[in-house]
Chains A and B, each alone.
Chain A
Amino acid sequence: MQWMIIEWYKLRKYTAFWLLVGLFAGLFLLWNFGLSRSFINMGSGPAKLISSSYSFPSVWGNMGFVYSWFIIFLSVFVIMSVTNEFSFRTHRQHVIDGLRRIDFLHGKLMMVFLLSLSATVFYTLSALVFGMLNGGGNPLDEINKVAYVFIYTLNYLTLSALLGFFIRRSALSIILLFAYMMFENSFGMFINWRFETQIGNLLPLQSSDELLPWPMLQSMKSMVPGKVVKSISPVVYFGFSVMYIGLYYFLMRRKMLKTDL
């Protein structure tokens, strides 16, 4: 509880926090509103790249996919929040003042956890509202997407925290995150293509990306003739995402406990 209060003291006066969270929430809602009202179109008819179906249950998948684009704002915030401690050297000061090293790490990770939880609640409420406004279907169908969104967010934000803890500089960490996202995507696709498998989807970020896939992907796949590769179950992707989060925690814990601050 004490860690959370300390983190809240830091956040409430931090302009970048409100700006990035505002951008995440505002753009997510605006984009979905535009798609649902067809103000935003990507392709048309059967070649429509993004579905404008916002009725249940497809609203969960559609909004989950759009959500996955805007998570980057929260990732940038987490990186800034962690690297701020190193640039202001307040991580040292907290330990000097009596915080245990592990408590400092747990404070940051608790912030990441609560941010992930809040973003998931925001997604859930938004999807419910959009689903109800656009009529039809059972809201509980594909409700498992809520859990996927949570683990997706936690995976991205914990990796961002890991980069912050290891790189310690915000600009470099953000650049590396973007570079890694692009690299991993290409590398995963290469492995899948080269070995005609889906093992490439089990890479750290891709394992979570696969939980919130492009909704039109399945229909597009069916249009492409050729060998069908057996797909991996979402449960496996979920498990791998959890495993990666555990790995990030282990690495951060080791770093915090063993090295000089």
Chain B
Amino acid sequence: MIRFIVSNRYRVISHISSWINHSTRVNRIYQKFISEIVMLSYFRCVMEEVVHIRDIQKAYTTVKALKGVTFSVPRGSVFGVLGPNGSGKTTLLGILLDVLKADQGSYEWVGYSEPHQARQQIGSLLETPNFYSYMSAADNLRISAKIKGRGEEQIDEVLKLVNLFERRDSRFSSFSLGMKQRLAIAAALLGKPDILVLDEPTNGLDPVGISEIRDLIRQLNHSGTTIIMASHLLDEVEKVCTHVAILRKGELLTTGSVLDVLNDEDRIELDAADRKALMSALSRNSSLKNLREDGVVQCSAVDGYTMNQINQYCFEQGIVLTHLVKKKRSLESKFMEITQS
């Protein structure tokens, strides 16, 4: 029933609208109407996510690559799947794209009754770019477009987007690693997909290319594309992701919005000519905690306690600050803390 609602959502909505229009029959249809509203609410709740992953398990002989991973990806997010090498990121994406078979568990691309229909609508780049070496960039994209059921008219457009239009007739074998990666991204962008699945999308790109792809990801996300991205480049993830799932040795350690995962307070750095007096004064302030000395004095503040208040407090204690900086906690430090704990 739920699957029917999801796949026929527009029909369900118009059905309800037509009922509302026949207001003279309100009493008779009241109960049905309420039940439809309940179903619609459920449907809206479901549609807020693009994929549900439930208890996915996968083993390679004796090594357990995934140990019951469960999470959902919110629609419209840039969802980073993070983890050190061998944590199961690519295995998880491989299962979602049906190139690997899960030993247990399931996944569901919301709104699609058949997984292959979902894959046709999703733009994906998994591990290395996979193309025929003896064919040109344009011919390779022609095959991708055919499989995805897209028109060939978009090929030039996506090649321009990744700066490969001038090389469209060159053989794939003549491309550098960065160009191959760009072509794979072009293939993923065919048909303006609602969802992009990218595994290490900036692999092999030079700094300019990395920046361009990062901008492209942001731009696509702003236009409503949901992006699921696996990466071990934390800086990259921190710059573009809105949500993360952190994996270690096949286990899901945490998941949520980047703000929630990094919900720890910001770090404040202070210094003064008399550091001992500063330490002593700060230790008496109940709004400050985690006080320590590491080159400078570091601490964190409770919610709502501002930098102005800290400065004023120190001044009232007779201490003139020579250094006062608020530093945001990096994803890297949080990641290290989570994966090493």
> Considering the chains assembled together, what is the distance between the CA atoms of A13 and B170 in angstroms?
13
The number of residue pairs between A and B whose CB atoms lie closer than 8 Å in the complex comes to 73
Decide yes or no whether A10 CB sits under 8 A from chain B. Answer: yes
A13 contacts across to B, CB distance below 8 A: 134-136, 139
Given known contacts A5-B146, A96-B119, is B99 in contact with A261 (CB within 8 Å)?
Answer: yes
> Considering the chains assembled together, what is the distance between the CA atoms of A140 and B334 in angstroms?
82
Q: B149 → chain A, closest Cβ, in Å?
A: 7
Decide yes or no whether B287 CB sits under 8 A from chain A. Answer: no
B100 partner, pick from A2, A15, A260, beta carbons under 8 A: A260
Decide yes or no whether B235 CB sits under 8 A from chain A. Answer: no
User: 1/0 per residue B113-133: CB within 8 Å of A?
Assistant: 000110111101010101111
Given known contacts A13-B139, A98-B116, is B147 in contact with A6 (CB within 8 Å)?
Answer: yes
B146 and A2 contacting across the interface, CB-CB below 8 Å: yes
User: 1/0 per residue B186-213: CB within 8 Å of A?
Assistant: 0100000000000000000000000000
B144 and A97 contacting across the interface, CB-CB below 8 Å: yes
Interface size bracket, A side:
20 to 34
Q: Which residues, 61 to 120 on A, are CB-close (under 8 Å) to B?
A: 84, 88-90, 92-101
> Considering the chains assembled together, what is the distance between the CA atoms of A258 and B100 in angstroms?
9
B148 and A92 contacting across the interface, CB-CB below 8 Å: no
Q: Is the interface of B mostly helix, strand, loop or mixed?
A: mixed
B139 contacts across to A, CB distance below 8 A: 9, 13
A92 and B130 contacting across the interface, CB-CB below 8 Å: yes
B147 partner, pick from A92, A94, A258, A260, beta carbons under 8 A: A94
Among residues of B, the one whose C-beta sits closest to the C-beta of A99 is B147
Given known contacts A6-B146, A97-B120, is B134 in contact with A14 (CB within 8 Å)?
Answer: yes
A259 and B147 contacting across the interface, CB-CB below 8 Å: no
Decide yes or no whether B97 CB sits under 8 A from chain A. Answer: yes
> Considering the chains assembled together, what is the distance between the CA atoms of A105 and B281 in angstroms?
74
A98 and B117 contacting across the interface, CB-CB below 8 Å: yes
Among residues of B, the one whose C-beta sits closest to the C-beta of A9 is B143
B97 contacts across to A, CB distance below 8 A: 95-96
Decide yes or no whether B142 CB sits under 8 A from chain A. Answer: yes
Among residues of A, the one whose C-beta sits closest to the C-beta of B117 is A98
A88 and B143 contacting across the interface, CB-CB below 8 Å: no
Decide yes or no whether B101 CB sits under 8 A from chain A. Answer: yes
A89 and B130 contacting across the interface, CB-CB below 8 Å: yes
Among residues of A, the one whose C-beta sits closest to the C-beta of B125 is A96
Given known contacts A10-B143, A92-B99, A260-B101, is B132 in contact with A98 (CB within 8 Å)?
Answer: no
A84 contacts across to B, CB distance below 8 A: 132
- Contacts A93-B130, A96-B99, A100-B116 known; 20 new A-B pairs at CB < 8 A: A2-B146, A9-B142, A9-B146, A13-B134, A13-B136, A88-B130, A88-B133, A89-B128, A92-B130, A93-B144, A96-B97, A96-B124, A96-B126, A97-B147, A97-B187, A98-B117, A98-B121, A101-B98, A260-B94, A260-B100
- Complex A-B: 23 CB contacts under 8 Å: A6-B146, A9-B139, A9-B142, A13-B134, A13-B139, A15-B134, A88-B133, A89-B128, A90-B131, A92-B126, A95-B99, A96-B119, A97-B148, A97-B187, A98-B121, A98-B122, A98-B148, A99-B116, A100-B116, A101-B98, A259-B101, A260-B99, A261-B100
